[in-house]
Chains A and B, each alone.
Chain A
């Protein structure tokens, strides 16, 4: 007789991390997507981080939290819609995946910053993107200037920056970092009930930042800063694709 496999036992045996709180939160929101706004607002209000991010989206002109004209979660929800909240909730596991991947693989500690706090990306840079499809559909894009890509790749490979002269090796390493980030993110979406598959990473050198088409879904732009490292991330998600 085959033994039944219990996930908790497996997680202990394999030393896997527990399912993150952000994913549990996303699961709760998804289970309530057909519920009334009041019920959804209750779930959001219990989460201070999600509340602040939602209020920021609902108050696009405010330069700080004291300038909010829309001050309640209910009002914000009426303005932005539930889809926006899901997008914001998905941003949490993505942010966690980026912080963990850069810290673990490259030993680089980055932190999430407001995208407007960084100078805009100009000139040649490396751009990696990975699409995913299924119950959630979308794309994750990672951009950084060439010297940053070189620095990050050298740190991952344990090489002095000057010795890493092959642009293909840099591109492959950045592609793999993005692959890890998106793989973690996709696993979190699956655990929240949004089963999806990811495509192989595409990495190229670009000179311009082209915005995703409006039809692609909700877009959240993120930025991350670390010692001599600035990363620009775009998440495009249509959470009800299937």
Chain B
């Protein structure tokens, strides 16, 4: 079954770049524009991994991360932060909340893929088993 990755970012540009990065792989990229939408998608779709921005309208990424970690059904989903917020205190706070990894924008596609493939295994499209 293809892996499900949820990209939560208020920037359509970033969501497009994330989707483009995973296009060669057998996975489904789901999208949400803020933390509230992200939580709803996470509850409905149970993704294998969440890529999460911090500064977003309606519900920011830090609040979404706290809510995910409070939810017994969702707390095991690994979260990788993808954000321009690299201040020491913010990074420490987010680490304490339980983010698995952290990638600071600006980023390159290969940096994102390297972080994600350390957490979940991705198969190139068309490389699936024959059974």
Which residues of A come within 8 Å of B, CB atoms?
A: 5, 7, 10-11, 13-17, 19, 100-101, 103-105, 156-158, 169, 172-173, 175-176, 179-184, 186-188, 190-191, 195, 198, 200
Q: Chain B interface secondary structure, helix, strand, loop or mixed?
A: mixed
B81, closest chain A residue (CB): A14
Is B117 interfacial (CB 8 A cutoff)?
no
B-side contacts of A191, CB under 8 Å: 87-88
Q: How many A-B residue pairs have CB under 8 A?
A: 92
**10 shortest interchain CB distances as A-B pairs:** A183-B84, A104-B106, A190-B87, A187-B87, A14-B102, A176-B11, A176-B13, A187-B86, A173-B13, A101-B106
**Complex: how many Å from CA A184 to CA B16?**
21
B-side contacts of A157, CB under 8 Å: 13, 16-17, 20
A198, closest chain B residue (CB): B55
Are B107 and A16 within 8 A (Cβ)? no
**28 contacts across the A-B interface (CB closer than 8 A):** A5-B92, A7-B91, A10-B91, A10-B95, A14-B91, A14-B102, A14-B103, A16-B86, A16-B102, A101-B105, A104-B108, A105-B107, A157-B16, A157-B17, A158-B20, A172-B12, A175-B11, A176-B11, A183-B55, A183-B83, A183-B85, A183-B86, A184-B86, A187-B84, A187-B85, A187-B86, A190-B88, A198-B55
Convert B68-102 into 0s and 1s, putting 1 for each residue whose CB lies closer than 8 angstroms to a CB of A: 00000000000000011111111110011000011
Are A200 and B13 within 8 A (Cβ)? no
Q: Chain A interface secondary structure, helix, strand, loop or mixed?
A: helix
Are A186 and B95 within 8 A (Cβ)? no
Is B40 interfacial (CB 8 A cutoff)?
no
Is B104 interfacial (CB 8 A cutoff)?
yes
- Closest Cβ of chain B: how far from A3's Cβ, in Å? 10
Convert B9-34 into 0s and 1s, putting 1 for each residue whose CB lies closer than 8 angstroms to a CB of A: 01111101100100000000000000
**Complex: how many Å from CA A5 to CA B94?**
11
A-side contacts of B96, CB under 8 Å: 5
A-side contacts of B16, CB under 8 Å: 157
Tell me whether A105 and B10 are in contact in the complex, defined as CB-CB below 8 angstroms, given that A7-B88, A10-B92 are known contacts.
no
Is B57 interfacial (CB 8 A cutoff)?
yes
**Complex: how many Å from CA A175 to CA B1?**
36
* Among B20, B57, B88, B90: residue with most chain A CB under 10 A: B88
Tell me whether A184 and B91 are in contact in the complex, defined as CB-CB below 8 angstroms, given that A104-B108, A105-B106 are known contacts.
no
- Closest Cβ of chain B: how far from A106's Cβ, in Å? 9
Are A190 and B89 within 8 A (Cβ)? yes
